[in-house]
A and B are shown apart, each in its own frame.
Chain A
Amino acid sequence: MSTPRLVEVRQNILKKNDVQARALRERFRDAGVAVISLVSSPGAGKTAFLERTLAGLRHTHEVAALVGDLATANDALRLARSGARVQQITTGTVCHLDAEMVERALDGWPLDELDLLFIENVGNLVCPAAYDLGETLRLVLVSVTEGEDKPLKYPTIFNSADVALMTKVDIADVVECDRAALTANILNVRPGMEIFEVSSKTGAGMDDWLQFVVSFTARSRDAAREHANSDQS
């Protein structure tokens, strides 16, 4: 029997997803749309938070959302009440969204008309970490009911995010959540990360968050314009 040849092939295992995500990111940039993805464990409050966010922005911005779940279109129906364009992605048994699912869901969408697109991932703190969706910003949510050490247990996803959001802060005292400890643990796995504390129920903290999103959207639009100008020159 011949000795096998060893051939070097250095590449990311998820190269296909990375290539698709890169193409999406370019499409988003060319269209001047800011894209924020949301990741968290199931029940952290992604959909309630997104309902508030869409309602808070839709009079001033063209906003839309893609929402991923294993089954049902319940979340899309909830979010559609805000009046924003919403599309459900049902993954079947797949525990995360990937770039191809996003691309397929956006088929025929007039991205140019949008200012901001949210992508709500499947509730899962493990698998979504590895899949780039072409987003400009990844937001990780953690609710005060989950235990202060959640970020330490799932460091990969917290480390892969750009901004963190502590949800359900209105019941923090009832569930005896030490918000300072939770904050410290987030910063432990992602030093320097910006953290917002909100309650989707009472609206507490939403103004700061919305202000952040508005300036983030403006920055994305400026970046798109700058890129277009540099292409022409």
Chain B
Amino acid sequence: MHELSIAISLVEAAEEEAGRHGGVVSAIHVKIGPLSGVVKSALASAFQLAVEGTTMEGARLVVADVPLVIHCAICARDHEVSGDTWFVCPGCGTPSADVVCGKEMEMTALELES
């Protein structure tokens, strides 16, 4: 439901960066983690609405998934986790709230055409 707000923020941020680097945006690359609270398909639809009437109309949105990785202090290593056992070390079963990655909602790159 908040994907439209996020898409508008994304378009504004991309416009600002494009202004700095010069050129017309033909694609925006983003990284979305499972803990970001963003639904990819909703973001893709919202993005189409957000670019309408801007210089970015027709630009592509390229979404890269980020895995959820937690750090286990007992095993002293990082583990990729998924499903209902998000915050439990798959190695030793110890709960861990130490999130290494998975919260990302990042604009990573722009494709610019001159």
Q: Which of A17, A130, A191 contacts B38 (CB 8 A)?
A: A130
Which of these binds chain B: A43-51, A150-158, A165-173? Answer: A150-158
Instruction: Select from chain B the residue with minimum beta-carbon distance to A192.
Output: B97
Q: Does A7 contact B (CB under 8 A)?
A: yes
CA distance A10 to B13 in the complex (A): 11
* Smallest beta-carbon distance A190→chain B, Å: 6
Are A17 and B106 CB-contacts (below 8 A) given A127-B37, A155-B86? no
Q: Which of A9, A96, A191 contacts B96 (CB 8 A)?
A: A191
Are A14 and B37 CB-contacts (below 8 A) given A6-B109, A9-B108, A188-B95? no
Cross-chain contact A187 with B111 (CB below 8 angstroms): no
Main secondary structure of the interface of A (DSSP, over half): mixed
CA distance A4 to B107 in the complex (A): 17
A-chain residues with CB within 8 Å of residue B74 when the two chains form the complex? none
Q: 0/1 per residue, A140-169, Cβ < 8 Å to B?
A: 000000000000100111010000000000
CA distance A175 to B85 in the complex (A): 27
B-facing residues in A1-35 (Cβ within 8 Å): 1-2, 4-17
* Smallest beta-carbon distance B92→chain A, Å: 13
Cross-chain contact A16 with B97 (CB below 8 angstroms): no
Cross-chain contact B111 with A14 (CB below 8 angstroms): no
CA distance A87 to B114 in the complex (A): 49
Cross-chain contact A9 with B109 (CB below 8 angstroms): yes
Instruction: Select from chain B the residue with minimum beta-carbon distance to A95.
Output: B1
Q: Which of A16, A124, A129, A193 contacts B13 (CB 8 A)?
A: A16
Cross-chain contact B2 with A13 (CB below 8 angstroms): no
Q: Does B69 contact A (CB under 8 A)?
A: no
* Smallest beta-carbon distance A52→chain B, Å: 29
* Smallest beta-carbon distance A17→chain B, Å: 7
CA distance A95 to B5 in the complex (A): 10
* Smallest beta-carbon distance A173→chain B, Å: 27
Main secondary structure of the interface of B (DSSP, over half): mixed
Q: Does B77 contact A (CB under 8 A)?
A: no
Cross-chain contact A130 with B35 (CB below 8 angstroms): no
Q: Does B49 contact A (CB under 8 A)?
A: no
CA distance A95 to B21 in the complex (A): 34
Cross-chain contact A12 with B97 (CB below 8 angstroms): no
Cross-chain contact A13 with B86 (CB below 8 angstroms): no
Are A13 and B1 CB-contacts (below 8 A) given A4-B112, A7-B110, A188-B95? no
A-chain residues with CB within 8 Å of residue B35 when the two chains form the complex? 155-156, 159
Q: Does A177 contact B (CB under 8 A)?
A: no
B-chain residues with CB within 8 Å of residue A157 when the two chains form the complex? 37
A-chain residues with CB within 8 Å of residue B114 when the two chains form the complex? 2, 5
Q: Does B56 contact A (CB under 8 A)?
A: no
Binding site for B on A (CB under 8 A): 1-2, 4-17, 94-96, 98, 124, 126-127, 129-130, 152, 155-157, 159, 187-193
Q: What are 16 of the A-B contact pairs (CB < 8 Å)?
A: A4-B113, A5-B112, A6-B110, A13-B13, A13-B30, A13-B106, A94-B2, A96-B5, A98-B5, A127-B2, A156-B37, A159-B35, A188-B86, A188-B87, A191-B97, A192-B95
